[in-house]
Structure 1
């Protein structure tokens, strides 16, 4: 659980790094491609060091169901959808809806043992813990955003600019994106068990995702990053891919140990804590925003919720 929490904290630093990289290369999709390539190379070195292997044997690939290879594709869908959701439903809903999708789907995966996961019964205490955790997320993420006049104005403008039916469609997709993220973690965890190598499973997922995000970037931007753009990057602009790959590697490790639901929940708490600290201190040249009491209260509620889930 602690490892999953730390991994979520590391992942929260990826977003401002990739945001700065996007500004330099003038495209979030090209920045995402660079991040994926760096992460894949990092995991390749890690996999060779830990297991001495990269690509599974042809026999293994042929004998496994197709869905065990979908983790990388779901990761790309999650990344690109967040970019598309922001101008459609605003900042608050783009943040909260995928989180709710992840929590709900993670609990369902554990309940029914989907994707090779061990079944975890939904006891009353576990349900109460999940509800308290959701309240904590809302308090930590939504309330501070509502207090920000600029965020409220932007979100109101965005939602009123689009037709109601279109907004509802994007809201539903926001939840589905969160469901995909939960599925990705469960699938990658099961792939690690099948391969008996967490590093190799993480590498394969990132490799598949890298090919897909490059294709998406070429379709949308129809170009590669220029040499001048790459020269303009700072050294830490290249760390985003490493942080993302470390998060993926940790989920492959933790899902078989503590289940999909707890892995997701601890990762989310780590991400929210990390995001608050990034804004508090302005790390990676992000805009500084001071911590507010609601964020502290939300984190405490989330930890109480996880405690109840664990005890159940």
Structure 2
């Protein structure tokens, strides 16, 4: 139960991080804000590794030499997911940018468990696990799509962007599995998260250097909390690595999604980070309940 609660907590932190990074983006621009966030997260993880290293099992750095190259891809997949969502938002709008990647995450999480991809522990696909995944997706749909939401677009070529959204979600679930495996190889969740962040920071620094864009300044004064996105991102990746090793990819993905939706509803209800207050509806509460029932079906029965 403790690990399930941890998954919900780190999932709640994800929309908070998004709101924080949005404020930093207004100050620095998209790519520089992302690079800054990754760099701050790398610094936090480096400090965390330095503090915890004497108290835990030594990191098995030598093991990296005989491991497959895909272990280094976690950070790059995180950058791809971030970039792809920016493109999706411009072409599909907010609702579909949430729904299609989540569908990809749930699908890929179950596939990784079923076939043991990325050397993950195999968890056979059962009817209860499928039913639980469908309940999670139904719950997310109820909470995201409201009567005021735009209809799913039927414009020509929109299906290509929708498929891209599913693919991005599958990449995100793959990142969770890869980082989880890296944590097992190194005997350290902190070291695995640190490597993922360093790779992502290097990739974003390269993009910023090649783009050479000017820095837009919309907010002359940036609040202190606008710089905490990297810290929240570090906790998110670190939590995912730890959960993956104990719950498997599929359940980790879904319990974090429950937290994500919960965090989004809390931001709307309480008006955190300057967001306009929107009352949570009974429809959204039903959706959240369906998600919790779906997770229970996978964890306790499936």
Contact 2:176 2:244 in 1 (8 A): yes
Q: Distance in 2 between matches of 1:107 and 1:221?
A: 40
Contact 2:136 2:290 in 1 (8 A): yes
Q: In structure 2, what is the equivalent of residue 119 of structure 1?
A: 122
Per-residue deviation, 1:261: 0.7
1:174-193 to structure 2, matched below 5 A, reads 174-193=165-184
Match of 2:279 among 277, 290, 311: 290
Q: Residue by residue, what CA displacement relative to the aligned partner does 1:170-197 show, whole Å, maximum 9, x if unpaired?
A: 1111100000000000000000000001
Contact 2:183 2:191 in 1 (8 A): yes
Q: In structure 1, what is the equivalent of residue 40 of structure 2?
A: 38
Per-residue deviation, 1:122: 1.2
Contact 2:60 2:187 in 1 (8 A): no
Q: Residue by residue, what CA displacement relative to the aligned partner does 1:250-287 show, whole Å, maximum 9, x if unpaired?
A: 11111010100111101000010001111111111123
Q: Residue by residue, what CA displacement relative to the aligned partner does 1:12-40 show, whole Å, maximum 9, x if unpaired?
A: 20011111111122x22221111111111
Per-residue deviation, 1:102: 0.2
Q: Distance in 2 between matches of 1:215 and 1:286?
A: 32
* Residues 1:170 and 2:172 are matched in the alignment: no
* Residues 1:251 and 2:254 are matched in the alignment: no
Per-residue deviation, 1:214: 2.1
Q: In structure 1, what is the equivalent of residue 197 of structure 2?
A: 206
Q: Distance in 1 between matches of 2:278 and 2:43?
A: 34
Per-residue deviation, 1:152: 2.1
Contact 2:265 2:280 in 1 (8 A): yes
Q: Which moved more, 1:16-25 or 1:190-199?
A: 16-25
Q: Distance in 2 between matches of 1:203 and 1:231?
A: 32
Q: Distance in 1 between matches of 2:119 and 2:20?
A: 34
Per-residue deviation, 1:54: 11
TM-score of the pair, normalised by structure 2: 0.92
Q: Unmatched 5+ residue regions in structure 1?
A: none
Match of 1:218 among 198, 203, 209: 209
Per-residue deviation, 1:221: 4.6
Match of 2:293 among 295, 301, 304: 304
Contact 2:64 2:185 in 1 (8 A): no
Q: Report SS of the residue matched to 1:152.
A: coil
Per-residue deviation, 1:234: 0.9
Contact 2:59 2:186 in 1 (8 A): no
TM-score of the pair, normalised by structure 1: 0.89
1:1-312 to structure 2, matched below 5 A, reads 1-25=4-28, 27-51=29-53, 57=61, 59-142=62-145, 144=146, 147-148=147-148, 151-152=149-150, 160=155, 164-165=156-157, 167-223=158-214, 232-310=221-299, 311-312=301-302
Per-residue deviation, 1:6: 0.7
Q: Distance in 1 between matches of 2:281 and 2:219?
A: 37
> What is the alpha-carbon root mean square deviation over aligned residues?
2.2
Q: Residue by residue, what CA displacement relative to the aligned partner does 1:141-186 show, whole Å, maximum 9, x if unpaired?
A: 12x2xx22xx528x76xx75xxx12x22211111000000000000
User: Would you say how many aligned residue pairs link Structure 1 and Structure 2?
Assistant: 296
Q: Distance in 1 between matches of 2:203 and 2:295?
A: 35
Q: Which is richer in helix?
A: 1
Per-residue deviation, 1:62: 2.5
Q: Unmatched 5+ residue regions in structure 2?
A: none
